[in-house]
Amino acid sequence: MKFLFTLFLVLAFLMGCSSPDAEFSFMSGRDAYELIASGNEVIILDVRSEEEFLTGHIEGSILLPVNEVEHRAESVLLYRDAMILVICRSGNRSRTASQELANLGFTNVYDIGGVMSWPGELVQQ
């Protein structure tokens, strides 16, 4: 009996220590576009390279390349509960960055895919 109790405690401890990835959500580019157009306060995070960003991006978006998210997100994104819309070129890097942000404790993260399917205008700088 003591063995079973000890085994139960060890298993409970191990299961409690294994944390699955935190969650983020998906939103279509069309829904994100309408959300922004309706005046909702959001942060648009573009996780492409600087060169890609300069060829065209959503007005007001913040550039944070996907390979810098883990180390710079907390200094760039000041509010963990702000609505963050993450975009890249085609949707692969935005998914990776969204997962990383969720793992860092950001609670309102949406992967909106890529600028290739963005229904609105892009600006160049």
Res. 10 pLDDT band, cuts 50 70 90: very low
Residue, of 52 and 19, whose pLDDT is higher: 52
Mean pLDDT for all residues in the chain: 88
Predicted local distance difference test score (pLDDT) of residue 117: 93
Q: Tell me the DSSP string of the chain.
A: -HHHHHHHHHHHHHHHH--PPP--EE--HHHHHHHHHTT---EEEE-S-HHHHHH-B-TT-EE--GGGHHHHHHHH---TTS-EEEEESSSHHHHHHHHHHHHTT--SEEEEEEGGG--S--B--
- Direct distance between the N- and C-terminal alpha carbons of the chain, in angstroms, rounded to an integer: 70
Residue, of 84 and 4, whose pLDDT is higher: 84
Whole-prediction pTM value? 0.83
**Cα 84 to Cα 14: distance, rounded to the nearest angstrom:** 33
Domain made up of 21-117: CATH architecture: 3-Layer(aba) Sandwich (3.40)
pLDDT tens per residue, range 27-85 = 999 999 999 999 999 999 999 999 999 999 999 999 999 999 999 999 999 999 999 99
**pLDDT of 20 strictly over 80:** no
